Amino acid sequence: MKNNSIITLTILTLLSLVTKAETLNGSLAQCLKIQENLARLVCFDDLAEQAVPTDNVTTKIEKNAPKAKAEKAMVLTSTKVADFGAEHLTTYKVAEEDQQVVLTVEQLSKDHYNKWRFTFTNGQQWQQTDNDFLRVEVGDSVLLKKGFMSAVYLKKNQPDSNRKIRVKRLK
């Protein structure tokens, strides 16, 4: 009996969400049909007022705004290359458009698990985290590129190079 009431409640909740979405879509379609610019703008403004968050949410956003501005200022003052891949080391924030960087290998070694350890000319140290094979030599130009869920991949900086390995920044 309990399961039936839970299922019924879930179905009713989903139906109400679908109905609300259909109502919003219908209202948007009506606003789009209005030819006069000012009247169309007023129509969209009225729809936006219906979706305005409550006062509690607005005050929380305003309280966190100085913190967000400070983080944004930190991103603008730090260098892009120095911050690349350092999210897990410190509180660096990398901008969305900084998805890849080109570096030159200065030192190269393998650990006891036969995984590469790279030191680049700018002093950064990276280590391979997967078991894939990649032939790299000292002096090679490599491309570090962001992947899904903060993964970073290293490959040779050549147009015909498809092989890549997953790496993690150490320093």
Mind giving me the DSSP string for the chain?
A: -HHHHHHHHHHHHHHHHHHHHHHHHHHHHHHHH--SHHHHHHHHHHHHHHTPPPHHHHHHHHHHHHHHHHHHHHHHHS-HHHHTT-TTTSS----TT--EEEEEEEEEEE-TTS-EEEEETTS-EEEE-S-------TT-EEEEEE-GGG-EEEEESSTT----EEEEE--
- 37 and 93, same structural domain? no
* Range 43-49 average pLDDT: 77
* Range 28-45 average pLDDT: 81
Residue 57 within a domain:
no
Pick the residue with more confidence: 51 or 148?
148
Q: How far is CA 118 from CA 75, 76, 157, in A?
A: 25, 27, 15
Residue 154 within a domain:
yes
Tell which of 37, 52, 67 closes a domain: 52
Are 168 and 127 in contact by the 8 Å Cβ rule? The answer is yes
Q: Which residue carries 């000292």 as its tokens?
A: 138
Number of domains in the chain: 2
Residue 64 within a domain:
no
pLDDT band at 78 (very low <50, low <70, confident <90, very high): very low
Residue 133 within a domain:
yes
Phi and psi, residue 10, nearest 5°: -65, -45
- 44 and 91, same structural domain? no
Range of the domain at 111: 82-169
- 162 and 86, same structural domain? yes
pLDDT band at 49 (very low <50, low <70, confident <90, very high): confident
- 106 and 45, same structural domain? no
Report the predicted TM-score, pTM, of the whole model to 2 decimal places. 0.44
Residue 26: its pLDDT value, please? 74
- 88 and 38, same structural domain? no
- Using alpha carbons only, give the angle 153, 99, 147 rounded to the nearest 5 degrees: 40
β partners of residue 156: 142
One-letter amino acid at 11 equals I
